[in-house]
A and B are shown apart, each in its own frame.
Chain A
Amino acid sequence: MQAKRVTFPGKITPYLLLLPQVAVTLVFFVWPAGEALVSSLFAQDAFGLGSTFVGLANFAALLRDPAYLEAVGVSFLFAFCVTTLAMGLGLLFAAAADALGKAAGLYQVLLVWPYAVAPAVAGVLWLFMFDPSVGMVAHALRTMGISWNHVLDGGQALTLVILAAAWKQVSYNFLFFYAGLRAIPQGALEAAALDGAGPFQRFRHIVLPLLAPTTFFLLVVNLTYAFFDTFGIIHATTGGGPGRATTILVYKVFRDGFEGLDLGGSSAQSVVLLVIVVALTALQFRHIERKVSY
């Protein structure tokens, strides 16, 4: 971690400059995270008056808890579907926009704006379209013989939150794939075309490999988004239900800790999530390092 070659003298100034950031970090990040770590190792009694050290028992209890394992399953299914859908559509639109050249500018605004919509608001927009009694899409599905009621049907509820979450993320993937496609040297494509490669072959053998770094980066970002940033969508629409059909891990931490007041269990879940974030961040940084070494 380099500093500038030329630096200012000063022994106290740098500390004063760092003070606000470090203070906020210590008070609102390190302290609470430390408490989560500590309380994940303790069990509280029923009245919240005292606690006993239980070691890793809270974690062991998590692994035996069918509700938790179900949340793990739901989270992975949810993250997989959101990531696939959002990245697939993002790449499709980016490829189309890239083929159009300058004419693509018009579409860009129309495709990008959902990025600015809050997850909770996105959820509400989709909830309305699929509302069993007044929603347009639910009505259209009914005329096609599909009875839609996400309030009762867990699979349909999960489909709804997946659609809302993916819809919001397509914009982001579009922008990055588009930038990635623009950076591909035209010469390589022209050479391939001269050698008789058709559009599909060019895409498969030249574009996709050159897009690999972008794709990997987006994969990590999308997984992080699906795991952590979709809380608002779930909370504002299905509330984790029906039953536990849409309870993803982040939502379960909230419900067990904030509503169920199970401090030890919720903290243990927080620690598990922490490990997931650390892993995803590490992946992201490894990727950046590699990009730098090119």
Chain B
Amino acid sequence: MAGTSRLSLLLAHLALIAGAAVMMAPLYVAFVASTYAGGDFLSGRVGLLPGPHLVENYRLALTTGSSTAGIPPVGPMLWNSLVVAVVIAAGKISISILSAFAICYFRFPLRVPAFWLIFMTLMLPVEVRILPTFEVAARLDLLNSYAGLTVPLIASATATFLFRQVFMTIPDELTEAALIDGAGPLRFFWSILLPLSRTNIAALFVILFLYGWNQYLWPLMVTTDASYFTVVMGIRRLVGAAAEADPVWHLVMATAILALVPPVLVIAVLQRLFVRGLTETEK
């Protein structure tokens, strides 16, 4: 920037270092805590540097949990989270890209009402219709199943809008060419629209994967069977256990780290896609 002095550069670095430190602190403290033994917490042996129990704690958290504290193993919960996140992301993208295709590339009487119906879902987050949605899921026999964990969440107005925007920028000449060559709508969709939307799909997948992985309230409501718990909702049980007489903070923090590493890795590795997806979906 014009007139940027050395002093202001120094101040900028200081502000960002302080900011990064504050943002990283909870993660670092959790990591350090996950490398000590349970008894070390109350005796004040947990310091600023990692302890010696890293491998042991994570193996314990992943495979056995703690039966005395009522903590299920994290391994199966991680698997459930992965399944739920991938199904939600893929499901949202599939049904939204099809709806956007119908709305952009066809003229039919109910086109505008359909658009508004999809738009309405923006206004109905799960938090404001908790009880009736649960009842619908219960009536359809979706409790304690992967379908129950995912299908009610896969309608998406934002994804539909995004694909509509993408399609509107695709030149009409392509459609004309397809019509002249005798390609049907599905052929056009598969051979032209889908390849042209590749990066948008990838960027959206990153955002929706995070959305699915981080679901909390809905899994909490539709699962009572521990074999369907996701890791994010499972963390609640651990906190209750950690407050008990036998402190298991080392396992709680190991679980927290395991729960946040997959989505954080996705952001770190796919940073450009992530930023793109974020700015596109929120426009």
Contacts and interface: CB of A to CB of B under 8 A. Distances in A.
Given A24-B152, A136-B29, A128 B249 contact: yes
Interface string A95-112: 111111100100111111
B127 A107 contact: no
Contacts of A177: none
B42 A133 contact: yes
Given A107-B20, A281-B123, A21 B256 contact: no
Given A13-B106, A111-B19, A274 B95 contact: no
Contacts of B167: 4
A186 B2 contact: yes
Nearest to B262: A116
B132 A32 contact: yes
A86 B85 CA distance: 27
Given A116-B210, A235-B216, A254-B130, A20 B235 contact: no
A25 B155 contact: yes
Size bracket of the A interface: 35 or more
B131 A120 contact: no
A3 B8 contact: no
A118 B118 CA distance: 26
Interface string A184-228: 001001100100000100000000000000000100010000001
Nearest to B156: A21
Interface residues of B, number: 112
Given A28-B136, A99-B8, A237-B239, A3 B123 contact: no
A25 B118 contact: yes
B171 to A, nearest CB: 10
A178 to B, nearest CB: 10
B127 A231 contact: yes
Interface in B208-240: 210, 213-217, 220-221, 232-233, 235-236, 238-239
Given A18-B102, A167-B23, A6 B179 contact: yes
Contact of A267 (B15, B46, B131, B259): B131
B50 to A, nearest CB: 14
Contacts of B19: 89, 92-93, 96, 107, 111, 170
Given A17-B102, A24-B154, A116-B210, A104 B16 contact: yes
Interface stretch (A33-41, A55-63, A72-80, A141-149): A33-41
A221 B282 contact: yes
B129 A128 contact: no
B181 interface: no
Contacts of A109: 268, 271
Contacts, number: 315
A241 interface: no
A14 B103 CA distance: 8
B245 to A, nearest CB: 11
B195 interface: no
Given A124-B252, A133-B42, A270 B125 contact: no
Nearest to A122: B26
A266 interface: yes
Main secondary structure of the interface of B (DSSP, over half): helix
Contact of A4 (B41, B160, B168, B215): B168
Contacts of A266: 130-131
A127 B256 CA distance: 12
Interface string B240-266: 000000010100110010011001101
Nearest to B19: A93
Contacts of A154: none
Given A3-B106, A237-B239, A30 B256 contact: no
Max chain A Cβ within 10 angstroms of own Cβ: one of B22, B217, B233: B217
Given A20-B98, A125-B27, A228-B125, A97 B12 contact: yes
A119 B252 CA distance: 16
A130 to B, nearest CB: 10
A2 B168 CA distance: 9
A5 B105 CA distance: 9
Nearest to A253: B130
B223 to A, nearest CB: 14
B151 A189 contact: no
A96 B95 CA distance: 41
Q: Across chains A and B, which 4 residue pairs bring their CB atoms closest together, nearest first? A: A32-B132, A118-B214, A17-B102, A14-B106
Interface of A: 1-8, 10-11, 13-15, 17-18, 20-22, 24-33, 35-36, 39, 89, 92-93, 95-101, 104, 107-122, 124-129, 131, 133-134, 136, 167, 170-172, 175-176, 179, 186, 189-190, 193, 199, 217, 221, 228, 231-232, 235-237, 250, 253-254, 257-258, 263, 266-267, 270, 273-274, 277-278, 281, 288
Interface of B: 1-4, 8-9, 11-13, 15-17, 19-20, 22-27, 29-30, 33, 41-42, 46, 94-96, 98-99, 101-108, 110-112, 114-115, 117-118, 120-125, 127-137, 140, 151-152, 154-156, 160, 167-168, 172, 175-176, 179, 184-186, 188, 210, 213-217, 220-221, 232-233, 235-236, 238-239, 247, 249, 252-253, 256, 259-260, 263-264, 266-268, 271, 275, 278-279, 282-283
